[in-house]
Chains A and B, each alone.
Chain A
């Protein structure tokens, strides 16, 4: 099976979706001739032409609004916003139009479109090039929010997002873009949006994470299992909204302990939502308070100190040990 980076896997998903459905168009800043700043759309212009692979002006609000117009007529636009920090310029179109069209038109104009955008830190960048604001979109009724963690699920989930009948915010962990290769088959592959994945089964404690945080989580898990003899269960959320509450509840019902890891700010972050759900449905099984290890409530810091902001294997190990040691 071919080994691909996440960038190559995403490119494959776009390529195959475009080949398969002439309604799929991609658009964004410098995505055609340059193939995108991270080269996710490389080669698509040559293959599908400028009517389907469009360089847009630097105008995020216009990009998303135009994509919404295309989508409510029946096309399937995949709009790239160059960095997730730039989506704020398009906030109105995402929140007011992309998210609401099916509801507002009472299903007369359903909207199937994808906003792809790289998010997250760890690349020595700066605030609006590093932040994780998935909470905004998860908070917005009408949107689905999908965040892959590796090349294979990125490809499958992007295909699922393009095929999805509702609008999807697709957050790509840019720290993972070229971090490693994985088997990604040539044949089209898809995954169900809204399903979390238990990537390691265990009995003592559940770690829940997603996106770029899966790498330090798995690194920490290796240590916890091998050096500390703990039996850790690891869940990759993959889809923030809809959230796979059932898988989370089943796991924590079994383990009784849970640590949630994300790099977005703490207050009203995704961990807060997960804790609320576990509180509702798994409360009587908890052995220890659920711990969240998150980014701080600050603007994403500059490169010299960003490693102190981001959760890493050490801080995850610490959080797990504290939770395991909890004694009521």
Chain B
């Protein structure tokens, strides 16, 4: 899947609802999804050219999830996710140049080039990061929700009015930390929504092989007494409308919820995944369900988006990512002393004797 400047216009496949969000909003979402797609295409190229180190997981195919979910939130609602995190950070508003520089290991990156692909943080946009350990971010979602509620109710004496989205993949459904997080969120009435981006595979293991009740994962949330929803994640309008209802209710009731967000990653688990565990036919079938083509078709067929307008949009996005990549390449590699910064509050940590390397001694 690359950014196609000529979506295949097949009216039969246009499944989007005619009503719903305004055309301007839909155009914005199309642009947002194109931006994520283009970012990921350039990411893959840069990885292959060895400009990016570390393990790298691209979001291609799942763009509608990050964009639709973000649209259902207020700007100051916290978001936390796992390692396939580029889409969430970009949808949340992070400038792509900070993401690209992060993966290039440059000081200008969103984590000073120290975290890489799996660790996109953006405090300004309330993005509490990507996380590399499967499931380990989910209790953080519960904690963030506790904190916003505490601030709103106890410190400010008002009503809880923020919602935390805690994303996870379907592989994380089986981690103990996730179950502990759900129970805590339920016991403490926390305004957190666990959004399971169910792309059907935990790395190379199909959900049917690795997860009990994999055909109906909302049954797990039912065990915790949560409201849940199954949302078609390849359709940004459905994502938005489904999430809006869940988010609004969570904001109002301060009760946790769970979402089975049905999606598909078009690429492998990571850049080094031979994808032997699924068939080419399956991949081709899902390629027909491309969320970007789907929205572009809707806009062209029913909302008056012209081909020229689309081409201009795609071109702008390409230019933006090209410039982000250039900016990232120009950003310096961190100084060696950066190795020791930010581990503790002190500049180089509370070290003494030979535990402080000679290079850091004044």
B115 sits at the interface (CB 8 A): yes
Complex Cα gap A297–B119 (Å): 21
A55 sits at the interface (CB 8 A): yes
User: Could you tell me if B355 and A308 are in contact, using CB atoms closer than 8 angstroms?
Assistant: no
User: Could you tell me if A89 and B203 are in contact, using CB atoms closer than 8 angstroms?
Assistant: no
In the complex with contacts A58-B202, A267-B355, A127-B174 CB distance below 8 A: no
A86 sits at the interface (CB 8 A): yes
User: Could you tell me if B174 and A62 are in contact, using CB atoms closer than 8 angstroms?
Assistant: yes
B1 sits at the interface (CB 8 A): no
User: Could you tell me if B357 and A296 are in contact, using CB atoms closer than 8 angstroms?
Assistant: yes
Complex Cα gap A308–B334 (Å): 11
Within 8 Å by CB of A59, from B174, B209, B272, lies: B174
Complex Cα gap A30–B211 (Å): 14
User: Could you tell me if A305 and B333 are in contact, using CB atoms closer than 8 angstroms?
Assistant: yes
A65 to chain B: closest residue by CB:
B176
- CB-CB under 8 A from B209, the residues of chain A are 55
Complex Cα gap A150–B189 (Å): 53
- CB-CB under 8 A from B106, the residues of chain A are 304
Within 8 Å by CB of A61, from B116, B118, B176, B357, lies: B176
User: Could you tell me if A33 and B276 are in contact, using CB atoms closer than 8 angstroms?
Assistant: yes
- CB-CB under 8 A from A104, the residues of chain B are none
User: Could you tell me if B114 and A302 are in contact, using CB atoms closer than 8 angstroms?
Assistant: yes
User: Number of contact residues on A: which range applies?
Assistant: 35 or more
Interface string of A285-299 (1 = CB under 8 A from B): 000000010001111
Interface string of A50-93 (1 = CB under 8 A from B): 00000111110110000000000000000000000110110000
From B272, B339, B354, residue with most partner A Cβ within 10 Å: B339
- CB-CB under 8 A from A309, the residues of chain B are 339
A174 sits at the interface (CB 8 A): no
- CB-CB under 8 A from B116, the residues of chain A are 126, 302-303
A266 sits at the interface (CB 8 A): yes
Within 8 Å by CB of B53, from A29, A30, A125, lies: A125
User: Could you tell me if A124 and B53 are in contact, using CB atoms closer than 8 angstroms?
Assistant: yes
Interface positions of B from 291 to 324, Cβ below 8 Å from A: none
Interface positions of B from 83 to 125, Cβ below 8 Å from A: 104-106, 113-119
A277 sits at the interface (CB 8 A): no
In the complex with contacts A34-B276, A88-B133, A303-B172 CB distance below 8 A: no
User: Number of contact residues on B: which range applies?
Assistant: 35 or more
For residue B26, give the distance in angstroms from its CB to the closest CB of chain A.
36
- CB-CB under 8 A from B334, the residues of chain A are 304-305
Complex Cα gap A210–B266 (Å): 41
In the complex with contacts A55-B210, A58-B210, A126-B115 CB distance below 8 A: yes
A129 sits at the interface (CB 8 A): yes
Interface string of A28-59 (1 = CB under 8 A from B): 01100110010000000000000000011111
Complex Cα gap A298–B104 (Å): 20
The B contact surface, by secondary structure, is: loop
B107 to chain A: closest residue by CB:
A304
Within 8 Å by CB of A56, from B117, B119, B210, lies: B210
In the complex with contacts A129-B132, A305-B105, A58-B171 CB distance below 8 A: yes
Within 8 Å by CB of A126, from B54, B135, B211, B340, lies: B54
From B55, B276, B340, residue with most partner A Cβ within 10 Å: B55
- CB-CB under 8 A from B177, the residues of chain A are 89
In the complex with contacts A297-B351, A302-B54, A309-B339, A62-B133 CB distance below 8 A: no
B175 sits at the interface (CB 8 A): yes
Interface positions of B from 342 to 356, Cβ below 8 Å from A: 343, 349, 351, 354-355
In the complex with contacts A30-B204, A89-B177, A304-B333 CB distance below 8 A: yes
Within 8 Å by CB of A299, from B202, B203, B211, B343, lies: B343
- CB-CB under 8 A from A292, the residues of chain B are 354
B184 sits at the interface (CB 8 A): no
Within 8 Å by CB of A297, from B104, B277, B349, lies: B349
- CB-CB under 8 A from A33, the residues of chain B are 204-205, 276-277
User: Could you tell me if A308 and B53 are in contact, using CB atoms closer than 8 angstroms?
Assistant: no
Complex Cα gap A88–B136 (Å): 11
User: Could you tell me if A302 and B105 are in contact, using CB atoms closer than 8 angstroms?
Assistant: yes
Within 8 Å by CB of A34, from B117, B204, B210, B349, lies: B204
Complex Cα gap A85–B113 (Å): 20
For residue A288, give the distance in angstroms from its CB to the closest CB of chain B.
14
B176 to chain A: closest residue by CB:
A61
- CB-CB under 8 A from A124, the residues of chain B are 53-54
- CB-CB under 8 A from A29, the residues of chain B are 202-203, 205
Complex Cα gap A304–B116 (Å): 10
User: Could you tell me if A303 and B205 are in contact, using CB atoms closer than 8 angstroms?
Assistant: no
User: Could you tell me if A305 and B205 are in contact, using CB atoms closer than 8 angstroms?
Assistant: no
For residue B48, give the distance in angstroms from its CB to the closest CB of chain A.
13
- CB-CB under 8 A from A126, the residues of chain B are 53-55, 115-119, 132
- CB-CB under 8 A from B18, the residues of chain A are none
For residue B283, give the distance in angstroms from its CB to the closest CB of chain A.
17
- CB-CB under 8 A from A167, the residues of chain B are none
B336 sits at the interface (CB 8 A): yes
For residue B104, give the distance in angstroms from its CB to the closest CB of chain A.
8
A88 to chain B: closest residue by CB:
B133
In the complex with contacts A30-B205, A58-B172, A61-B176, A303-B53 CB distance below 8 A: yes
Complex Cα gap A298–B113 (Å): 15
Given contact pairs A61-B175, A127-B115, enumerate 9 new A-B contacts (beta carbons under 8 Å): A55-B209, A62-B176, A86-B133, A88-B133, A89-B134, A89-B135, A89-B177, A302-B115, A304-B106
A sample of 13 cross-chain residue pairs with beta-carbon separation below 8 angstroms, ordered by A number, consists of A29-B202, A56-B210, A57-B205, A62-B174, A125-B55, A126-B116, A298-B343, A301-B114, A302-B53, A304-B53, A304-B105, A304-B106, A305-B334
10 tightest CB-CB pairs across the interface, nearest first? A303-B53, A304-B105, A124-B53, A57-B174, A58-B171, A126-B54, A30-B204, A57-B210, A34-B204, A59-B174
